[in-house]
Amino acid sequence: MFGHIDYKNPPELCPVRDVMSVASDQWSALIILWLGYFPVLRFNKLKKFVYGISNKVLSQRLKVLEADGYIQRKAFAEVPIRVEYSLTDFGQSYVEKLLELAEWMQTNSPKVLANREKYGLL
Amino acid sequence: MFGHIDYKNPPELCPVRDVMSVASDQWSALIILWLGYFPVLRFNKLKKFVYGISNKVLSQRLKVLEADGYIQRKAFAEVPIRVEYSLTDFGQSYVEKLLELAEWMQTNSPKVLANREKYGLL
DNA sequence: TCATTCGGTTACTTTTTGTAACTTACTCTA
DNA sequence: TAGAGTAAGTTACAAAAAGTAACCGAATGA
């Protein structure tokens, strides 16, 4: 990530950046965090928890997160169709890290909001 | 973040989301990580490390990160002007958390790339 | 027969990003 | 003394991503 990598390298030679930008994207993070809290969620339920996300973006992100191995998609041939999303073991290991970050945010967001306000007055 | 918050709340009532979306944005994260590695960086140096970022976005992000209290900006009245960016104590405490995430990514990005490839074959 | 359900997709608009040229004000070089 | 270079950005314009809202198919229940 740092000193040992030639900073002139194009980003496609830095998979960490690529992977991180998917996994820590705002919507992806929320999806993963909610799936960490509720082991199984269906599309519309997930959409309610990840408040404000659109069908389009939710379905895009779910595909990418599935491709990257964080989540699993199980479709049941019922009518109407039922689809269940859940974390993989890999996703579970990630959500633990992510949760630490979320907790830091929970603790520190008041400071940030205070900073913002102070900054606005300058 | 979770069960104790009514998921119907509009996002503007969830400061954690707001703050997190700024701080864990791809470019913001890279800026903060590099400033964690080099205690002081000037605009153009930072731009080289955060490979691929444009002047516009770099200057936007620096302003937001300054407003939120993660970084400090010091301008020296020289010619040509010299501007030094560095982490605040608050930013320093954040970069430690962020670094854990980056390390997880460093370790696990090969798995993600492998998953992606497998997924592509399905 | 007609509205409802679920898990999306599609066409279209708006917002965000990226690109690249330009700026300011002074100094160094030819 | 004309011209180029420098640092830290800004600006106008183009491209990409995200948001919006209507629509889909197949079956079920009223």
Chain segment B1-20, per-residue pLDDT in tens: 554 444 445 555 688 899 99
Distance in Å, residue A24 CA to nucleotide D16 C1'? 20
How much is the mean pLDDT over chain B?
Answer: 89
Residue A3 lies in a domain: no
Using pLDDT thresholds of 50, 70 and 90, give the confidence band for residue A8: very low
Q: Which range marks the domain in which residue A103 is found?
A: 11-121
Tell me whether residue A32 is in a domain: yes
Look at residue B6 and tell me if it is in a domain.
no
Distance B79 CA to C30 C1' (A): 22
Best of B16, B57, B70, B92 to substitute, by most chain A Cβ atoms within 10 angstroms, is B16
What is the reported pLDDT for A56? 97
**pLDDT of A12 higher than 80:** no
Q: Is residue A75 part of a domain?
A: yes
CA pair distance A74, B21, nearest whole angstrom: 29
Where residue A52 sits, what CATH number does that domain have? 1.10.10.10
Round to a whole number and report the distance in Å from the CA of B48 to the C1' of D23. Answer: 47
Taking the C1' atom of every nucleotide in all shown strands and the CA of A60, the nearest one is: C8
B78 to chain A nearest CA, in Å?
A: 23
- How close, in Å, is residue B15 to chain A by CA atoms? 7
In chain B, the number of structural domains is 1
Asked if the Cβ–Cβ distance from A113 to B19 is below 8 Å, we say yes
* Direct distance between the N- and C-terminal alpha carbons of chain B, in angstroms, rounded to an integer: 35
Name the nt closest to A27 by C-alpha to C1': D18
How far apart CA B46 and CA B29 sit, in angstroms, is 13
pLDDT, position B3: 44
In a domain, A5, yes or no: no
Residue B2 lies in a domain: no
Is the pLDDT assigned to residue B119 strictly greater than 60?
A: yes
Question: How many other C-beta atoms are found inside a 10 Å radius of the C-beta of residue B78?
Answer: 8
Residue B79: pLDDT band by 50, 70, 90 thresholds? confident
Query: How confident is the model over B24-69, as pLDDT tens digits?
Result: 999 999 999 999 999 999 999 999 999 889 999 999 999 999 999 9
* Average pLDDT of the residues of chain A: 89
In a domain, B3, yes or no: no
Closest partner CB to A15 (pick from B15, B49, B109): B109
Q: Does residue A40 belong to any structural domain of this protein?
A: yes
Question: Which residue from A minimizes the CA distance to B22?
Answer: A26
How many C-beta atoms lie closer than 10 Å to residue A78's C-beta? 8
Peptide bond into B80 cis (omega under 30): yes
